[in-house]
Structure formats: structure tokens, C-alpha cells
């Protein structure tokens, strides 16, 4: 590694690769150093702590996703199509970058510095804001049901994406995030474009029988 920053990049790439193991155990700096064939001291010349290494991965995720989200917003003028493309991007990114999926779901951040999960939450808040903006555009174009709450809809789409991420990670990467994606988007978008009539009866509480 002769290029400036080359070793730092190698450390992050190796960490991401180690996270791709379906049932990876807690990754230690000793194991990471052994994989790269350097000493732990060599790792600490580039990162002050393992938390900084995870921060490097989160920064990569954020930079990559928002570069592509901004491109979607520029190239696609239809708001609903923007929202669909963003959701598909999020699912496809994790499908191609399994280790990053374990970071985004927070699975590998348990017992790590709490600021890492806060950083991921901040990233997801930005993603949700992008979806919300796309849905506001869709509302202005009349392509969604009148009176749609863009915030509620954006949160619903993100929750679906996060659920697919979780399934992917928890299944040992066997249930891919894009399985049945076109059909699922059709079901989800139907709720955005068709007015739903309120239920006639009170659903009641758990254990209560409906009144006939």
C-alpha cells in the first residue's frame, strides 16, 4: 500500500469483508490485524479505536447513498418515482454490501460506543427526509392521494426497507432484500395513491369481540 491513505482504506475494506460472514462473531482488533497481517499497533496508527473504524464505514455508507440519492432527485422529476428509486437503492445497496447491512441494522454496533448507533440514526433520519421531500413533490404533482401526510408515508417506506434489511441479516443473508420488490412496491404505493375508507366499526382492544 503505497498510496496515501491506502492502508486506512485497506483496514476499512477488510473490516467490511469480515462483517459479511453470515454468523460473524464480535470482531476484535486482534482478528482484524491478523487478517491484514499487520500488528494491532499498525491499526492504531490509522484509527484511534475500533469505534473510529466503524465511523469510517458509516461515513462511506452515507457518502455513497446520498451521492446516489442526489442523482435520483436530479434525474427523476416524478416525485413518486423518486421515492420508489430511493427505496430500491437502499435495498440494493445492502444486498450488494452485506457487511454494511449489519452496520445499518445496528447488529454489529451492540456493545460498541453508543455514538455509532446515534450516527446511524442520524443517517436514517436524512434518508427519511429525502423520501419525505420526494413525496411532497408527488403531492404537488397530484400523483398521490389528496391530503397525504408525506412524513407518515416516508416513515412507512423506510420502515419497510429496514424490515427487509433485518430479514436479510437475520437469515444469514439468504432472504435477499429485493425478493418480490416490484410486487411489494405495488402494494405499498397503492396506499399512497388510493383513498382508504375508514373502518365502520371500532376495532376494539385485544381480547374484545366486535359488536355485531
How would you write 117-134 as a 3-class SS string?
Answer: HHHHHHHHHHHHHHHHHH
Number of domains in the chain: 1
The Cα 141–Cα 196 span in angstroms is 20
- pLDDT tens digit sequence for 183-205: 999 999 998 986 654 544 455 55
* Domain of 158, in residue numbers: 49-193
Three cell numbers written together for 180: 418480490
In a domain, 2, yes or no: no
40 in a domain, yes or no?
no
In a domain, 116, yes or no: yes
> Does residue 128 fall inside a structural domain?
yes
CA 80 vs. chain centroid, Å, equals 19
Within a domain: 15? no
Residue-level pLDDT at 6 = 84
- Inside any domain, residue 165: yes
Q: What is the pLDDT of residues 105-126, one digit of tens each?
A: 999 898 888 999 999 999 999 9
- Upper half-sphere CA count for residue 163 (Cβ side, 13 Å): 9
Query: What is the distance, to the nearest Å, from the Cα of residue 68 to the centroid of all Cα atoms in its chain?
Result: 13
**Is residue 14 in a domain?**
no
149 within some domain: yes
pTM: 0.86
What does the DSSP assignment read for 65-132?
Answer: HHHHHHHHHHH---HHHHHHHHHHHHHHHHHH-HHHHHHHTTGGGTTS-HHHHHHHHHHHHHHHHHHH
Q: Report angle CA 25, 27, 30 to the nearest 5 degrees.
A: 130
Query: Worst-scoring range by mean pLDDT, 16-25, 37-46, 103-112, 181-190?
Result: 16-25
CATH (domain of 124) = 1.10.357.10
pLDDT tens digits, 46-96: 999 999 999 999 999 999 999 999 999 999 999 999 999 999 999 999 999
- 76: closest CA among 94, 63, 89? 89
Amino acid at each position: 500500500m503505497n498510496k496515501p491513505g491506502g492502508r486506512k482504506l485497506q483496514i476499512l475494506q477488510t473490516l467490511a469483508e469480515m462483517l459479511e460472514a453470515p454468523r460473524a462473531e464480535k470482531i476484535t482488533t486482534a482478528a482484524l490485524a491478523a487478517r491484514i497481517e499487520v500488528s494491532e499497533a499498525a491499526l492504531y496508527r490509522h484509527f484511534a479505536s475500533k469505534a473510529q473504524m466503524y465511523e469510517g464505514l458509516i461515513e462511506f455508507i452515507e457518502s455513497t447513498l446520498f451521492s446516489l440519492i442526489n442523482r435520483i432527485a436530479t434525474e427523476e422529476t416524478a416525485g413518486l418515482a423518486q421515492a420508489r428509486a430511493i427505496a430500491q437503492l437502499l435495498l440494493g445497496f445492502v444486498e450488494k454490501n452485506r457487511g454494511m447491512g449489519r452496520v445499518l441494522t445496528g447488529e454489529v454496533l451492540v456493545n460498541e460506543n453508543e455514538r455509532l448507533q446515534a450516527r446511524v440514526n442520524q443517517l436514517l433520519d436524512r434518508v427519511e427526509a429525502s423520501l419525505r421531500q420526494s413525496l411532497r413533490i408527488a403531492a404537488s404533482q397530484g400523483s398521490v392521494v389528496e391530503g397525504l401526510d408525506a412524513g407518515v408515508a416516508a416513515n412507512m417506506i423506510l420502515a419497510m426497507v429496514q424490515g427487509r434489511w433485518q430479514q436479510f441479516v437475520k437469515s444469514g443473508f439468504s432472504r435477499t432484500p429485493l425478493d418480490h420488490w416490484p410486487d411489494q412496491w405495488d402494494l405499498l404505493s397503492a396506499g399512497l395513491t388510493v383513498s382508504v375508507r375508514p373502518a365502520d366499526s371500532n376495532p376494539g382492544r385485544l381480547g374484545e369481540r366486535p359488536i355485531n
